[in-house]
Homo-oligomer: A and B are copies of this chain.
């Protein structure tokens, strides 16, 4: 339905419905996604080493990433065609599982790495290493290493802070930490982070951007580091990171009665 609009300003080089198929950038200048934040995530993974700047058109509720509403397209497309837009760089990461046999799997991600206890759900004991130094041992239901983009997803639910989208940092947040002083830590994206679970459950699992990657076995090291690939989101005028946050998180609402004179 948006194709005619797009074609008035741009040459459409390819249309892809199935985000599991091979990606054909074919000299394109932008990728336009129709959907929500999940669609953008999948597109970023699909593009791998060949990241095109993404124009995220939102078809659902207001998204953190897909902040452009369909009704704003009329105004936004000519701006875009005229080059009056910003490209905001977003941190992407490589997640490898390394064990005695070398590197087993590798995934490109935009949101977060999660190691979850899994069946039979005994408490997870996860060691975190930064640049090879043991940082902490977490007794928890899971451990999340999140980018700024991912910080408003699983990390926020687990009690982590919001990281402004363009920050070059990761936040590490435990899920249900049994040591109550184990608080979220924010550290530079220039370090290498490793999670080791010496005695995993049968069902202890590694997820990247919410997708199951592999079960974890005792010798595995989950290594997370900055990717050379950078996810670029197109921002046209009128969009604002904090305005989106305000709307999505209801920061404008007051939970109390403004007419009331008491603090209750």
The answer to whether the Cβ of A142 comes within 8 Å of any Cβ in the partner chain is yes
**A123 CB contacts on chain B under 8 angstroms:** 256, 263
A250: nearest chain-B partner, CB-CB: B181
Q: Mark A250-264, 1 if CB is under 8 A from B, else 0.
A: 111111111111111
Contact B251 A136 (CB under 8 A): yes
| Nearest-Cβ distance from residue A245 to partner chain B, whole angstroms | 8
Is A225's CB within 8 Å of the partner chain B?
no
Which A positions have Cβ atoms within 8 angstroms of B?
Answer: 35-39, 41-42, 59-61, 63, 111, 114, 116, 118-123, 130, 133-137, 139-142, 150, 153-154, 156-164, 166-167, 169, 171, 175-188, 203, 205, 207, 209-212, 240, 242-243, 245-246, 248-264
Q: Known pairs A119-B205, A179-B253. 19 more at Cβ < 8 A?
A: A38-B262, A39-B260, A59-B259, A60-B260, A61-B256, A118-B119, A120-B212, A121-B207, A134-B242, A135-B245, A136-B242, A156-B180, A156-B183, A163-B185, A178-B255, A181-B251, A183-B249, A186-B186, A210-B264
